[in-house]
Every structure is written in structure tokens, then in C-alpha cells.
Structure 1
Amino acid sequence: MRRVLLLGLLALLVAPLAIAQPLAVETYTLPNGFTVMLNPDATATEVSGAVMVKAGGKNDPADATGIAHYLEHLLFKGTQEMGTSDYEAEKVHLDRIVELYDEAAATTDPEARQALYTEINQEALAASEYGMPNEFDKLLKSLGSTGINAFTSSDITFYYNNFPAHELPRWLDLYSHRFENPVFRSFQSELEVVYEEKNRSMDAFQNRLIETFNAEVFKGHPYGDQLILGTIEHLKNPSLTKMYEFFKTYYVANNMALILSGNFDPETAKPLIAEKFGDWRTGEVPEYPDYPKRRFEKKQTLDVRLTPIAVSLMGFKTVNDTHPDRFGLDVVAAMLSNSASSGFLDEISLEGKVLQAGMFNNSMQDDGVSIVIVVPKPVVQSFKAAEKLVLAAIEKVQEGEFTDEDLAAVKSTLYKDFQSSLESVDNRAVQMGFCFSRGLSWDDYLKYPEMVASITREDVMRLAEQYYGDNYFAMYSKTGFPKKEELEKPSYEPVTTDQNAESGYARAFASMEPALPEATFVDLAKDVTRMELEGGNKLFWTENPINDIFSLEMEFQVGTRTLPSLEPIADVLNLAGTSEYSATELKKQFASLGASFYFSVSRNYFTLSVDGIEENLAPTLALVNQLLTDTEIPQDAIKTTAEGIETNREVESSTPDAMGSVLFQYGLRGEASQYL
């Protein structure tokens, strides 16, 4: 029955598809220096729109860290015309709040500072009689917007959401207006939100681990010396004046970009963009200091207790995100660990030599590091023993102990990952933004597969030797947690606002006539090909209009709702081999075709997911068929899975978000919870 299903797929998919090219991006600059990046894609169902600023946590003043992130929050709170019923009356109290925060920042007496914060609260209550800080969000939702959000990294700040194409004129009006004459209302109330985000960050051991790691690897640079969320002391004593200065300095047309990706007409958009964004002010952006990049002369170590399980991190200093070596270093990293689980580090994980090992490159604008994460086998394995296995894997790459086929497989995997990342307009918009921040053209970005393909085995060996020597940083975290300082929420009188009031801008916005939507509905008879297969199985197939990557899901109509034991079975099958191939060899066989597989389970379905390169579909399906009809479970797979589940439970029990999910599932399903 399974063989018939795969043969049916092969009959439909073996012929090459006519691939459309919705990846073209037009980039231009308005007279005021504002960058516009347009990616029309007629295959999309919506538009992903964003405004990006080339400033992030690294640009925070050293004595006021967290400002870039806090500002991100406040730019959802309206302007002098939006989010207020009477700005002139509100402004009296807002101006006084700025003065009081400056006084508080200059005060060292805790009691005097608290008295000032109490007075700020009274002014905030008075200002709230006029303010409507949630109006911007309501107006976006009135367009049918989804995914309304923003993020701040060390290098950039990115504001984004998705919306229907026919609402483009009103979306442009709203997004251009939000950055003109913004008002940082609800500053004190929003501080509680930032406090909570900081507390959650400190609760998550992963964040503490990476922050401690970065502080050593990037010492002397804001990447290591400053936190994006800010220090506790700086969050307790914020400065509105410094925040306005940050906005005036970095939020200027020549330091920002508009990004649109999706189903819109660029010729309709261009005059609207010029009208809405063309009058933004231009400013002189300070030249960023050239901080020295830390390099390790020899191996350096740090022992900590930050995690619920033993974890080690190894950091090898590499290059920034525009350095020519970045392509070769991606290949080196993929030789060790990749999405197809075919690297040398993946191999020691699959064979149960360590509980888990993986690697990724973290290349930012100013510096970079390649990070190896290793979880030793509980109780029986030391950090030193696990690290020895990692170094042996790296040495294999340095010595060229890999075949040309291994190298080709890694390149195919990187090609598949790159192409797949561009299928979503959301992710495409983010990548367009990264091009803007790095000073790269979109055409240069699309050359990534070509650059990876040009890397030779000699390049791989040379780069592995050059960057992965014995001058690395190793951090060993034993089980334990440091004492955590928690930001207590201030006990101020809560601010309330009239949620039904409207600003003058909102009334004018509502009067703008939106264009009628041009809906294109899915025609299941034409857009989806169906086949009834032997044994009652059904096949549904549709074309990928973006690239030459295929995705296949085989769903079996049984899940944990009826068979709870399917969850560990899926984990075990991800470590499976066949009578012809061991688990490691099977992963490499899939990788040689630019493909990978993954078993998963939900409450209602047991699923095998396969993706790969279309021209290799036939041999990939042959491998899938072999996996399903000739499955062999390695001797240690069940033990490795059990150790992994036990470790995951330890991690979950120490992670508030995970425990929240555990309690929710128990409240929802009782004894039938997947965690029991």
C-alpha cells in the first residue's frame, strides 16, 4: 500500500515543473534618502509590509541600555494626531512627565526618586484622560492586518505585519504617520510590560546562557557588554529625554527602509510611497565606532551553573555577515551539522556518543562566532570527553576526511534550505531588510547558492584550519541556577483609557475609501490534483510556484489521542536505518539528494515529512519507500530516545513557558495529557 502511494506521487511529480520567478526585488531611493524595496509576488495571498531602522541594541547609550527596545514598544502608542482626543491638553502632562523622569535620573536618594515616580504616576493618570495608546493597533486590525509585531536585535529594529493587498493605500498612510511626530505616551505603563519581558528573559535559562557566553566572546563590544533588553539598573531609571534623542538621531529617512513583499501592484504603490514617505526628515547618522574584535590567543574556559542539565558551549571566532569567507564558513559548519542531520557532529548524536551536538554560525554586522552546543550523556560522560568527540569531528573536516560526494551533499542541503527560506513573504521581507542593513543588493543575496557551489574541498579544509583552531572559548554549565534579581512591578495606580474614543486622525482614516478587494479563491477542482490510490489512500498535489523544492507529507490517521506511545515512536524512527543503511548512512543518502525526512505526531495524525530538490524526487521517493518498508531500529536508538525524553522533561520543569503548557494540557485533557 505504501509503495503504491509513492509510485502515484512519482507519476505525478517526476516531470519538471515550470517554475515562476516571484523573487525579483526593485530597490530605489527617494530624494530624502529613504530606501524602498518592492517584491511583487502574484502567487501570494497577502502583503508583508515592514519599516526597518538601521539601529538596535548596540546603538544604545552605554548609560541607558535597553532604549532601542523600549522605543520599539512606544512606537505603537500613537502620535500628536493619533491616539489622543486633545493633544494640547495631554501635552501639558506629558511634558511634565519628561521633566520628572530627568529629575529622577539625576537623583541618588531612593526615597526622593520614589516620590518623583509617584508624581509621574499622577501626571500619567491625568494624561490618560486624553490618550488612547491602543488606537494604532486597532486601526491596523481594521485593515485585516495580522501578525502585528516588531523586534529589536543588536543591529536593527524591524516593524512589520501582513495585510490584504487592496488596503495598501491605508496601510502606507498609517505606517508613514506612526513615525512622524510620535508621542511616547503610557511610558510608565509600558515600562511594566518591559519589566515583565525582562523577567521572562531572566527566567529562561537559554537567555542567561547566551548572554553569559556573548559577554565573553564579544567582550569590549556592545554585542557582549550591553543587553538588548537593558540592565536592571537602567530599566529602573529610564530617561525619556535620551529616548527622544535616540529617535531623532536614528529614525531618519536615510537610515530607514520600507519593505513590501506580496500580492500588490508596484506601479500603484510607487506614487503613494513617494507621497507618504517622501517628506520624512533626513539626518546625519553618527558613524559607528570601530570596536576592537576580541580574538582568543589560546583556549579559554568559564565554569558556570546556569542550566537544568549539563551543557557546554564552544565559541570559535569567525567573521561578520559581509566578509567573503562567510560562504565557505557556512559550508564548514554544514559539514559538521546541518538540517539533514548528515554532518560529523550529527553523526555522534545519531550514534548516541553524546546526547546532543550541533553547530551554527552567528554572523552579525560587526563580528561573528561559530557556536557548538554539546549536551553530554547524563551521569556517564564528562565535559572533557564530549568535547574531545567534537574536536575529533572538526579535525575530520580540517584533514579532508570527507568525500566529494559528502561535500556535494552539504551544498545541496544549503541550497534547499536557502530556497525554502524564500517561499514565505514574511521571511522574504526580513531577508530584504537584512540586505538593506548590510549594504547588499538583493541580486547579491540571491547569489548565495552560486557562492556556496564555488567552495572547493581545499577551501573547506583551509577555512576549518584557519578558524577552528585551539584558540577557542569553552563555557561549561553544570546543573544549577544563579540567584536571580527580579524586577518588581511598581505599585502605581493603574492607568485607564477610553477604548471607544477616536482621535481626529482615526476619523479621517475611516473616511478614506478602501479599494474593493480582488479576491482569488482556491478552486479545489483546478488548483489541487487529487488521486485515489490503492488501499483507500488519497493523494493531494499542488505546484510550488516559487522554486524547485518539493515538500511531501504522508499523514496516517492515528495520533496520540488514541495511541499516546506514538510520540516516542516518532523520536525513535528519526534515528532509524534500513537493512542496507545505518541511521547515519541513511541520513547521508538523503542529504546526497538534497533531501531530508522527519517523523512527527500530533493528537490526530502520525506524519512523515520529506523535502528535497525536485530533480532528485524519484531517487528520494525510492529511499522513502525503503525507509517505510525495510525499517531497522539501531540497538541504542531506544536508549538514546529515552535519555532525550528524560532530559527534555528536566528542561521543561525548569522553564516557566513549558510548565505553563504542561498545566494547560493537564487542565484541558486531564489524565489524557500528552505529558503523562
Structure 2
Amino acid sequence: MNTTFKSIAFILLLVWASAGIAQSSSYTWKEGKDGAYSYMYVPGDPTAARFYKLDNGLTVILSPTKKEPRIQTYIATKAGGKTDPKDHTGLAHYLEHMLFKGTSKFGSLDWEKEKPLLDEIEALYEQYNKVEDAQARKAIYREIDSVSGLAAKFAIPNEYDKLMSNMGAEGTNAFTSYEQTVYIEDIPNTVIDKYLTVQAERFRDPVLRLFHTELETVYEEKNMSLDNDNRKAIEAIFSSLFPNNNYGKQTILGSVEHLRNPSLKAINEYYSTYYVPNNMGIIMSGDFEPAEMIRKIDQAFAYMRPKAIPVYRFDAEQPINKPVVREVKGPNPELLLMGFRFPGAATEEAQMLNLMASILTNGSAGLIDLNLVKSQKLLGAGAFPYVLKDYSMLILQGNPSQGQSLDQVRELLLTELAKLRDGNFSDDLITSIINNERKSQIMRTASYKSRAEDLMNAFTSEVDWADELAYMDRLAKLTKDDVVTFAKKYLNEQNYVAVFKRQGTDATVDKVEKPTITPITINRDVQSDFLGKVNEISEASITPQWVNYEKDISKGKLDGQEILTVQNQENELFNLSYQYDMGGWDNKLLPLALGYFQFLGTANHSSEYFSTEFYKLASSFRVSAGDEETAVSISGLNENFTETVRLIQQLLRECVADQDAFEAYKGRLKRSRLNAKNDKKNILAGLQAYAKYGTKNPFNYTLTDAELDQLHAEDLVSILHDLAKTEHTILYYGPWEQQQLTAALPSLKNNNGAYLTPKRGKRFIEKPTTANQVLLAHYDMKQVEIFWLRNTERYDVEKAPIISLFNSYFGGGMGSIVFQTLREARALAYTTYAYYGQPRKKENHGMVGAYIATQSDKLNEALAGMNDLLNTLPESPMALETARISLRKSIASDRIGNENKLHNYLTAKRLGNTTDIRKNIYERLPSLQYTDLKAFHAEQLADKAYSYCVIGDEESLNMEDLQKIGEVKKISLEEIFGY
């Protein structure tokens, strides 16, 4: 459950053209019939979507595909943060949380006894909402806590999750954005009757039970956002661009003041206003028959009654005539965001905005890509469209390089906008964009998940699907002059908002304080009658399919190198990868060489030339160096396979040192290294590596500052040239059979000499965890994050089934022991989990990992709570059976296809397995009992030593409490990062 920005400066959304564009198109709506049901469809639609409108106004969109025996489902409401009452902001979001708590029929042991207590709690919150005196508020809250404890005795926490887990559901979640709240499930196609029974009841009359603990979880999410500099920056963009619209006047998570003063009455009123069928949609894609599905959906949701939806009204925003500059502070690395305002989704301008954004940024050949990123004038940069109903935006992002100011970043971005207005871009760029959109459409159509997501977004944004499909047709009619005219109209050097995200302490942050919450009762081993009835609904079984490594993967040789192929029989896309058995452990310079590679050309062609040529072909390349493996990969349309291979081979074999690019690259590395030290995720990852391997570990196995200064471009280029001549394995997924591939694929080395054998370098071995220790790193933040780590034994294939079941039961989801105990019962965290991690290779060791992020004043409770679970495994027969059923159904309906077969095979090979391990897990699950889990827990987790990786503000942490755990080692950033 989370909030989402449809696009932040780091996510490019493919929001296609919008409704209301009066242009002729080959895509036109037609009407069809499924028995008694009429539907609309668009001939030629690759998703084969059918659009129904039921008698009560409920929209149903169905996109059938037989690829996998699963269905991606969305239940969407066209209401979000924008429609929150102005005196109860954040309401849509915490209502989303409450839709997981059940109704009078499920989630309750005894509704008749529970209801009066819930009514009393609602009345107490209304008092609490209106009282200002601090002592009176505390007294009322104590009463809320007391009555909530009584009510909790009749509640069944997470019964919704149990219902869905029993079906084999995956990805159970929800999100709230500005104009949508969406509930997500991915289910086996055999449980649709159960799914519809549960969802119809879920939205019939939701009960706001366990409210005060869930609200505390929302508090934690809000506090997390206060530590998120990127989120604060994007919210500053919105508030400045939209002073008259709730896009800017309110935030999705709501204000601290309103979160402190919730109203259950207001939540119920909001639900009854917006959760009505004529404001909702059910979107599905997967393996089903539409005619049968629409009948079942109608039967399940016919009880809903339509209601007039309030029209959202706002004053039009005034033009921006001079730059609006805002400043945000926080510990994360500096960046600049710039925002330009555009008309909303149902306008022709939305179409042009998306095209214009692609001309600026497309990952390869855009103006910003080539002139700022490829030329290394900025550490990172991009332009991203953000399309909403009332308005749209173009957001520019710029990350400064070494020695750059944010003002200089702004000038560089404005320069690229000037080039756009002047038409200073390639004449064939629009054609290249069309080719890449075609590839993207093929990729998304191939995935039942992506189909459903695209259709859901079109529904909530109220854009016309026929216009969506016609996007490329309309794109082909646009000219450079059209783009230039549009850019001149909407982009200039005055009409924007700039947010300078600087490093420093944010003195404006007012976190939500921790209330006193008495842990509630967890009724793990009870169930409602409703759950029992749902379980009794019949469902067909699904026969699992295993990957056969001998039949499903073609194995051969090409120039003496192993080649593994799987044929793509669905579409015309290909993926090819050269895999090398060496990585950063073998040569510290290898990752740096691959990073430098993206800025290199050959003696005859520049780096920009190669990026542009790849983009013209709708192809891309990617290089990566892990600890022990390296990959050079290409992908694209198979019709351009030969030319794509020629480009990557030429670039790898013939790249030449570029001293200017090298000096810029070194500056880039220095800034990146500095930024890493200011990123709490990197710091925590470094602490984990310290705990796992010791003071010298893979995380800090890197060049010192002095070594970096002495680095030469030729050293890196030499490594790249040697890579082309080094033994490798070729992976191919595409339309060709292996014989066709080997005939068309030239040798990478391109001469008759012997391939080089990879040289083995340093190897890191996991250190035994023999005593408790606390590894502490300081970071300016409102929360504290703790990660427990314990190294265990080497890989044992026989333990794979028990580990899978243990992880699902203990700490793997909303119904797990860890989640229910620490979040649901004690409201200690928004995010918490625990797991036993299998090693990547058979010679490596496994590990126990556990995590919680909480407020600093909850540290003791969080530590004690997780330690109790690590030492004593609660027994819950019902939770165990739910975990077992869920795993079995998920495995049975899981289809490992496409290039995933190749990666599945390589994973098995590294672990010494010769068959698909899922088969062993599936067959062993029925015989595993709690005694097996308890024995595993006692052997691997209970009363064992752990390394506690802690990151937080030292001033807010009680050192004496940490010292009670074990020796506290304050780890410096230099020790963590190695430079």
C-alpha cells in the first residue's frame, strides 16, 4: 500500500495521446455483443480489449490473453488526493489502507459485539478531532486506545490477505495518486469466482476496524516522506505550479496537522461519495473468456447503486511570467527540478507534450541525452511528461557534476530548451521515436500485467483508448515545425518553476509524533464464516509446468563459445547477451571501464553517433559488471538484429580513448562517489556488506581517491578491447532458431586467435557471525532503520522447500508473522520483513536478514519486537496452511518463459542444480509441518548472534540501549565506502 506520483523526475511514463483530439485515424470504435452484454472495441487493438458499461454505471475493461494461466486485476476509483476534503487531507490515502480491514462479514469474529465498540471509537475520534487542549487530547486518546484494545479482540487482522493468499494471489497492494485510488491483485485464472466474491463483499460496506494502529502506520509513511528529499522537491514543484488547484494546495499523504486529527466520519462520507459504480472500473488482463467474465462481474457487483459525483471545481491558474524559485533542504545529494505547466489530458497539447519530451529525453538520442548526459556536462539529466486531468507538466531534472552549481545546471537545461525552440535537432528524430514507440508497444502488449496497467491508466485519466492506439499514426503526421511552434508557445526562459534541492538540515520538518499504543490482540488462528465459504467455492486445479533444461534451451557453439537460445514465438523482439565469467572482484577497473564505455566512440565515429544509430534501429545496449559476472547486452527488433550486432561489436572492439571524455568521467566518478556517501540506502548497503564480510568487503573494494587520480584512459580502453577477446557465453532470445542465429551472428573477436581466459582475482568469504555487534552510521533523518544480519551455512538444495515455506510463513507478506506482529498489532513500522536468504552460488553462505524502519523513539520497542520473533517462532496452524496453499498455487500457475528460461537455467547451474528446483519445492510442500519450521528456526535463527546495522541520527538514539545489544561500532563513511 503506497502513494504514487505518476511520474517523478526519475520515472518516464509512456502517457500516450489524449481524448478530444479531432484527427482522422484508422482506429475507430465498434460495438460488439457478448450475449446480453454490449461492449465497445477498437479493431486492430493489440490488447483485444473490450469496454463494457454495466447498468449501474460500472466500467469493465477486459483484455484476454492465453499466455499464462493468471489474471492481472485492478479495481480503480477515479478519486485521490485531489478530491480530499480541504480539512481532512490525506483521507483518500488512509481510506485505501482501511479497504484491507474487511467488512461486517470478514475480518470480524463477532460483528454484533464488535460494532458498538467501533461506533464508540468513531465518536471518540470526533471528540479528539475538535479538542485543542493537549491534556484533554491525551485523555481522549487513552480512551481510544483502551476501547480499540477491546474491539481488537473481535477483529481478525489481515483476513483479507489470508483470503487472497489462499487463492495464490500475488502482488496484493494498492496505491493512491492525485486522481486515482487503485486496488491490485494478480490471481490464478481458476479462482475468479472466489476473487469476485471477496471483492464484491470488500466494497459493499467496508468497516474501519483497527484504525488507530493503521493510522500509526500512515504516520510512519508520512515520516518516511519527510526523510525523502526527492518527494519534497516534487511536492514543491506542484505547490508552485498549481496554487489554485489541489495538485498544489494539498499533498497525497496529507498535512501533519490533519493526520493528527483524523475523522472516521469524514472517511465514511468520502467513501460513500466516491466509491460508487459510475466512478469505478474493473480492469482485467489474462487467461479468461470475456463473455463468461463479464457475466460473473455483473452478478457480483450488480448490488452497487450509482450516485452523482461532485464536480471538482478550481480557479484557473494564472500565467507564470517570471521564474518561481523554491528551495528544499535535506541530506541527499543536490539536484534541480524545473517545471513547466501545460493543458490537461483531454487536449491536443498533451499529445505534443509527450512527443516533445521524447525529443528532449529518450534515453539515447534526445537533446538532453546527447548534449548533457552523453557529453557529461551533467551527472544526470532528463525531461519527463506528467499528464493529469486538469493540467499537465514537463519536469526537467538536472544533477550537478563535480564543481557545478545548481544555477549552472539550470542554464544548461535552458540552453537545451532554446535548441528545441530553434529546431536544432535531427530531422529524422521523430521517425526514430516512432520506431521506438513501436517496440515499446510490442513489449507492453506481450505482458498481461502491462496491458492491464495501460488500460487502467487510460480509464482513470479519462482518455480515449482509440486515440491511445492511434498515437503513432498521429505522430507520423507531425513535423519539426509543429514541434518548434509548440515549444515556442509553451517553453521560454521565464514561465517555469525551479526547485533547488540543496544539502542541509530541513528546519521546517514537523514529524508526526508517536502516540501511546497498547499492542492489540492478534487472532491468528481464527477465521470468519465468510472465509470458510469462500474456500469452499470450487476451483479447477492448474498443472504446473517446469523448465526442462535439456528440451527448452538449445545449446550449441559459436566460434568455440557456448551459445544458449530460446526461440521467441510471440513477436519480433530479440535480446542477446555476452556473458563473461569475471567481474569487479577480478579487476577493480572492470566496472569503471564499462562505465566509461558509454561515453566512447571509434576512430571514425563519435559516441553520439552510436547512441543515435542504436536509437534509429529501435535498439539499445546495456553493459554491467557484477562482483563475479559481466554482461554486454543488446535488444531490439529482430529485423535490425544484424545491424545492431555490427554496432555493438564495432564499438567494443574499436573504441578509442577520449581524453576529454575521460577527464569528465573522472569528475563524474568523484561526484557520484560523494553523492553515494549522502544516500542512506547506499550507507545501509555498506553496513550490510561490513556485517557480512568484515572490514574489507565487496562494497568498499574500490579505488582510493589517490588511485582514481592516477587512472589513465588507456587502461580502461585496454580492458574493453580485451573483453571482446575473452571467453564468454552467448544468450539469445528471439525469433530465430539457433541454426539461423549462428549463421547470422559473427564472432565477437573477429580474428582467428584464441580467446583469452578470464583471470580470477580476489574472492570475498562471508564471516561467521559469532557475537552480537551494532554497526552504527550517522545520518540526518527522522526515522531510524535497522537491519539484522547473520551469516549461516552453505547452500543445501534439500532445504529449499523448507526455506520457501518458512519465508512465506515468517516474514514474506502482509499475512506473515513478522508483519502482523510488528505492524498490525504494535504499529511499529510502515515497512518490516524478515527472511532466510539463499546464496547465489553453491559455495557461498546463506544469511538471515530482518528489517524495520521506525521512529527513533520506537527503537527499543522495534528491537525487542523483532528479537522476540527471531528467538521464538509463534505457532499458527492457519497461517501455515495459508502459506502452503499460496506457495503451491503460485508455483503451479507460474510460467517461466521467454528469456527468463535462460536466466533460470544459469541460476540453477550456479547452485549446482540440474533440474528446476520449483518442482522439488512444489512436491515437498504438502508434507512440511510446523515442527519442520520450528526446527529450522531453532537451527538458523533462534538465540543466535546478529550484526545490527543501524542508520539514524545519533543525537536521537539512546547509545546505552544499543550497547545492551552488543559492542557498538561507529562506522565512518570512509570505512564503509573505501574512499
**Same fold judged by TM-score > 0.5?**
yes
Quote the Cα distance in structure 1 between the aligned partners of 2:555 and 2:146: 65
Residue in structure 1 matched with residue 469 of structure 2 by the alignment: 446
Corresponding position of 2:534: 509
**How far is the alpha carbon of 1:322 from its aligned partner?**
2.6
Does structure 1 residue 284 correspond to structure 2 residue 308? Answer: yes
Q: How far 1:523 sits from its partner (Å)? A: 5.8
Q: How does 1:26-425 map to 2 (within 5 A)?
A: 26-306=50-330, 308-379=332-403, 381-425=404-448
Residue 518 (structure 2) pairs with residue 488 (structure 1): no
- 1:134-183, Cα deviation, whole Å (9 max, x unpaired): 11001111111111111100010111021111112211212222111111
CA spacing shift, 1:405–1:36, aligned 2, 3 Å: same
Matched with 2:492 is 469
| Counterpart code for 2:539 | P
1:33-64 residue CA offsets vs partner (Å, 9 max, x unmatched): 11111111112352111100100000100110
Distance 2:292 2:692 in 1: 49
Q: Which SS does the other structure have where 1:578 is aligned? A: coil
Report the CA distance between 1:304 and its aligned residue: 4.2
How many pairs are equivalent? Answer: 655
The one of 528, 536, 543 equivalent to 2:561 is 536
Q: CA deviation at 1:208?
A: 1.1
1:345 is displaced (CA, Å) by: 4.5
Q: 2:556 is matched by which residue type in structure 1?
A: M
Indicate the larger mover: 333-342 or 143-152. Answer: 333-342
Q: What is the distance in 2 between the residues matched to 1:446 and 1:265? A: 23
| TM-fit CA distance, 1:527 | 5.2
Q: Report SS of the residue matched to 1:273.
A: helix
Q: Does 1:431 align with 2:459?
A: no
Unaligned runs of 5+ in 1: 1-19
Decide whether the 8 Å contact of 1:530 with 1:541 is kept in 2.
no
TM-score (norm 2): 0.64
Distance 1:544 1:563 in 2: 39
Task: Please give the residue correspondences for 1:3-14 in structure 2 after superposition, counting only pairs within 5 Å.
Answer: none
CA contact (8 A) 1:339 1:413 kept: no
In the alignment, does 2:599 pair up with 1:575? yes
* Identity level (%): 31
1:604 and 1:321, CA in 2 relative to 1: closer, same or farther beyond 3 A? farther
Distance 1:45 1:573 in 2: 42
| Greater alpha carbon shift after TM alignment, 210-219 vs 263-272 | 263-272
Cα distance change, pair 412–22 in 1 and its aligned pair in 2 (3 A) = closer
Q: Is the 8 A contact 1:41 1:261 kept in 2?
A: yes
SS at match of 1:404: coil
Matched, 1:499 2:511: no
Code of the residue aligned with 2:357 in structure 1: it is A
Deviation at 1:361, TM superposition (A): 1.0
Indicate if the aligned counterparts of 2:376 and 2:668 stay in contact, CA closer than 8 A: no
C-alpha change, 1:659 and 1:186, in structure 2 (3 Å) is farther
> Matched residue of 2:343: which SS?
coil
Cα-Cα RMSD: 2.2
Q: Which of 1 and 2 has higher RCO (CA within 8 Å, sep 6+)?
A: 1
Cα 1:441–1:330 change in 2 (3 A) is closer
- Measured in 1, the distance between the counterparts of 2:341 and 2:185 equals 35
Partner of residue 480, structure 2: 457
Contact 2:328 2:501 in 1 (8 A): yes
Aligned residue in 2 for 1:7: none
Looking at structure 2, the residues matched to 308 and 439 of structure 1 have their Cα atoms a distance apart, in angstroms, of 36
- What is the CA–CA distance in structure 1 between the aligned matches of 2:176 and 2:252, rounded to whole Å? 7
3-state SS of 2:560 partner: helix
Per the TM alignment, residue 564 of structure 1 is displaced from its structure 2 partner at its CA by 4.6
Question: Aligned in 2, Cα 1:290/1:526: closer, same or farther, shift over 3 Å?
Answer: farther
Paired amino acid for 2:420: V
SS at match of 1:372: strand
- The Cα offsets for residues 343-373 of structure 1, whole Å up to 9 and x where unpaired, read as 3454222212222221111111111111111
State the Cα distance separating 1:65 from its structure 2 match.
0.5
Residue equivalent to 1:555: 579
Q: Is the 8 A contact 2:350 2:392 kept in 1?
A: no
- The aligned counterpart of 2:869 is none
Structure 2 unpaired stretches of 5+: 1-43, 702-979
- Inter-partner Cα distance in structure 1 for 2:71 and 2:221: 29
Of the two, which has the highest radius of gyration? Answer: 2
Other structure's SS at 1:387 match: helix
For 1:44 and 1:332, locate their aligned partners in 2 and report how far apart those are by CA, in whole Å. Answer: 37
Please list the CA deviations of residues 276-312 of structure 1 after superposition, one character each: whole Å capped at 9, or x if unmatched.
1122222221111144134312233234434643322
Distance 1:418 1:297 in 2: 38
**Cα contact 1:315–1:372 (8 A) shared by 2:** yes
Q: Which deviates further from its counterpart, 86-95 or 286-295?
A: 286-295
Deviation sequence 1:375-405 (CA, Å, 0-9, x none): 23332x3334333332222222222222322
Change (3 A) 1:304 1:121: closer
Is the 2:553–2:564 contact (alpha carbons within 8 Å) kept by the matching residues of 1? no
Whether the aligned pair in 1 keeps the contact of 2:45 and 2:469 (CA below 8 Å) is no
Residues 383-428 of structure 1: CA distance to partner in whole angstroms, max 9, x if unpaired?
3433333222222222222232233223323433344344332232
What one-letter code is carried by the residue in structure 1 that aligns with 2:339?
G
Q: 2:401, 2:668 within 8 Å by CA — same for their partners in 1?
A: no
Structure 2 Cα separation of the partners of residues 29 and 407 of structure 1: 37
Counterparts in 2 of 1:391 and 1:290: CA distance versus 1, 3 Å: same
Partners in 1 of 2:275 and 2:160 — Cα distance?
Answer: 19
User: 1:524 and 1:84, CA in 2 relative to 1: closer, same or farther beyond 3 A?
Assistant: same
Amino acid at match of 1:432: L
Aligned-pair CA distance for 1:90: 0.6
- Work out the CA distance in 2 between the residues paired with 1:168 and 1:334: 40
Corresponding residue for residue 40 of structure 2 = none
Question: Equivalents in 2 of 1:112, 1:353: separation in Å?
Answer: 58
CA contact (8 A) 1:199 1:486 kept: yes
Instruction: State the Cα distance separating 1:337 from its structure 2 match.
Output: 1.3
Q: Measure the CA separation in 2 of the matches of 1:326 and 1:110.
A: 49
Residues 378 and 409, structure 2, Cα contact 8 Å, conserved in 1 = yes
Q: CA deviation at 1:488?
A: 2.3
Matched, 1:672 2:697: yes
> Given residue 409 of structure 1, which amino acid in structure 2 is its aligned partner?
S
Q: Is the 8 A contact 1:218 1:294 kept in 2?
A: no
Cα drift, residue 503 of structure 1: 0.5
